[in-house]
């Protein structure tokens, strides 16, 4: 089982979401991804943009069974993209 923990790194930006999406799409062995707690109200974060881009990689991955996106200020827009991406792909999802 392959697990990647990238929590607490202030990654909630559109650019970080794009980079992670590319890595997820190219990696069919990653089972668990934790990108929780990456929103910082004092930085130029974009929770919805992060979620939208990350969702592309999640849907292309095929091996992900657990995804933790808690505390990223995804809002309804970001949550919608993630919900669509995980249909039939991810069995455990954590939102706060």
d(CA 41, CA 71): 11
Sign of CA dihedral 57, 55, 41, 33: negative
**Res 46: pLDDT:** 93
- pLDDT tens, 14-45? 999 999 999 999 988 998 999 999 998 777 78
**Res 16: pLDDT:** 94
Of 69, 63, 53, whose CA–CA distance to 90 is shortest?
63
**Res 5: pLDDT:** 97
Task: Please say if the pLDDT value at position 96 is more than 50.
Answer: no
Secondary structure (DSSP) of 43-63: S---HHHHHHHHHHHHHHHS-
Name the average pLDDT for the chain: 88
**Res 42: pLDDT:** 78
């Amino acid at each position: 089982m392959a697990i990647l923990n990238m929590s607490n790194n202030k990654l909630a930006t559109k650019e970080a979401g794009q980079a992670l999406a590319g890595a997820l799409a190219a990696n069919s062995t990653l089972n668990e991804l934790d990108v929780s707690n990456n929103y910082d109200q004092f930085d130029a974060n974009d929770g919805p943009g992060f979620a939208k881009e990350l969702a592309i990689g999640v849907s292309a991955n095929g091996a992900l069974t657990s995804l933790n996106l808690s505390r990223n200020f995804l809002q309804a827009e970001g949550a919608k993209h993630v919900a669509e991406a995980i249909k039939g792909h991810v069995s455990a999802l954590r939102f706060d």
